[in-house]
Amino acid sequence: MNDSLNPLLDFSDLPRFDAIKPEHVAPAIDALLEQNRAVVAQLEAPMPQVTWENFVEPLENATEKLGRAWGIVGHLNAVMDTPELRAAYNENQPKITEFWTALAQNLALFDKYKALKNGAQYAALSPTRKKIIENALRDFRLGGAELPDDKKERFAEIQEQHAVLSTRFSENVLDATNDYALLIEDELQLSGLPDDVKQAARAAAEKDEKPGFKFTLHFPSYFPILQFADNRAVRETIYRANATKASELGGKPEWDNTHNIAEMLKLRDEEARLLGYRNFAEVSLVPKMAQSPEQVIGFLKDLAQRARPFAENDLAELRTFARLELGIDTLEAWDMTYASEKLRERRYAFSEQEVKQYFPEPKVIDGLFRLVQTLFSVDIEPDTAPTWHSDVKFFRIEKNGQLIGQFYLDLYARTGKRGGAWMDDARGRRQAANGIQTPVAYLTCNFTEPAIIDGKKKPALFTHDEVITLFHEFGHGLHHMLTQVDELGVSGISGVEWDAVELPSQFMENFCWEWDVLQHMTAHVDTGAPLPRELFDKMTAAKNFQSGLQTLRQVEFSLFDMHLHYDHDPYGSKSVQDLIAEVRDRVAVIVPPAFNRFQHSFGHIFAGGYAAGYYSYKWAEVLSADAYGAFEEAGVAGDKSRLAETGLKFRKEILAVGGSRPALESFKAFRGREPTIDALLRHNGMAA
């Protein structure tokens, strides 16, 4: 295939998603690997003097292209999975893993970074470039560069095997999710379900030329059953299917993740020991803010202790309500969401369904953009670019008429798209030969697509939770796009400690609870009326409904993850299932049924880079709640100019600096002090 005709090798501007096909993947990756190896070979040769310009820049120029091309392939694999694309991805992934592993272990390159650090030129380098060199030296050590040759070879094998297992884990979850269908012909069995949910299920059945209603394990399809369906047996059926997917109880042995989990844990443990650490948790924490697994476990236990009385109270109330009002004597796992929704409707006299009518997509997007424009003095405009699906929209961010970033918005769930919501970078900001290369982000969610009623397309309606998710991912996007750092290694989200990367995303969530913001982003789908103040007040009153239970659930997942990589013996007789049961015994007040196999689809830690890092959601929430406190203090004074001033300071000290300095320094520069847990407890209604 002619290189000039391969769209994956065109780096002149945005990815050509309309032209990329699975058959382009292997030739493009092979060509880029060949180029990269040639550059590496040149850079390995002795040099009279190592400088930034003759060493770091050529290496970065080569590896950036490879990273961008593979990033496009990985993104497509996550949002438009097809058998052909999956085959191309799996065929090329080992080559990519092998290259990056070899690069991270390259002693000649490691020595040159050391020479840069110890050279005469180092003192004159910018703090940003010094940080990149420090990070590189750290990553070489973590990449096994200092290992003897025989151990290097084993280290490389571990990386390759791990990458394959991680991909297989993800594919098993996706396949199990896509394969499941619950068909219900009798509409009476769907009592309690909102009309729009039933319409979507009817449309799904019609698409398959089946009678009745089709429900799947995609979140917008199965969750409303747990939340609203009066029929307990239907709730149990979908709960069980979701809780056992990709496990030995899921019915399809080829999608069982038990073996993948066990093997990945062994490989991680072996990697840690090769590098001279006692466990994988220690390896994971080297580039993070937290100092040790013990510190993280202490933080989580402290949070669990503070949340427990609130969680116990939440559960006692729910049990009493379910018994007296719903006739449910024993609350089962499949009753929890349903009973909680009924209790919330009773206590606060509103339902999620009622709120949803006020959040049509165009109004929400408009409100989000309006807030960002006000806070950070930028403009967001529609833009055009080739996309991978007709539902995807594209936008640009400008400052004083200058382009500073662009992003794709892919909002709806569909077959072949990985579940959940995430932000990823399509390219980072850097100084290029012809000026600044502006950053580009992917923002991906899995919301319900617009319904077609009587031949007319209605706008997609978002729950308030989905609005919060959108703001969360957009916070990540802002971190990536509003950076002012011109060095690729630490611009945007690059080089930011993993346990601080959630700060901007969780920070943005807070605005979803501000009346001044919500007024401008709500309009009833039928009448156009904004969200009534009375309904907003009820939502706010309900904001911390069951926050004790929610907090303990996050602590449970975080402790499970940390113990799994800290003091769990992957070769021992205690299974992963035993460990999660043990953690639940210690911290949970609600223990799921014995058949629950949550870990078999816990993609964050087995396919998403959060291994021994899931705690970072709570860790960063301390930072984000405290940072938001500055806006509360500015806003309480009712002074718009102070609010804008605070927004600009947040942009300057947190968003703009990216990973160019430690996150704690950025936080202190913004807040003027160390972070405290007080704001987090207050925001969750758990303050003393």
Catalytic residue numbers read: 473
Which residue has tokens 């307990």?
A: 232
What tokens were used for 24?
């382009």
Q: How far apart are CA 439 and CA 428, in angstroms?
A: 4
Beta bridge partners of 458: none
Which value, in Å, is the radius of gyration of the alpha carbons in the chain?
25
- Picking from 250, 315, 273, the residue whose alpha carbon sits closest to that of residue 550 is 315
Which residue has tokens 């290369």?
A: 437
Task: Note whether 360 and 523 are within 8 A (CB).
Answer: yes
- Picking from 102, 115, 113, 112, the residue whose alpha carbon sits closest to that of residue 145 is 102
- 398's enclosing H/E stretch is strand 393-399
Task: Note whether 587 and 555 are within 8 A (CB).
Answer: yes
Please state the three-class secondary structure of 566-630 as a single string: HCCCCCCCCCHHHHHHHHHHHHCCCCCCCCCCHHHHCHHHHHCCCCCCCCHHHHHHHHHHHHHHH
Please state the three-class secondary structure of 164-201 as a single string: HHHHHHHHHHHHHHHHCCEEECCHHHHCCCCHHHHHHH
Query: For residue 408, what are the CA distances in angstroms to 390, 461, 521?
Result: 12, 20, 20
Q: How far apart are CA 519 and CA 517, in angstroms?
A: 6
Residue 439 DSSP one-character state: P
Beta bridge partners of 452: 457
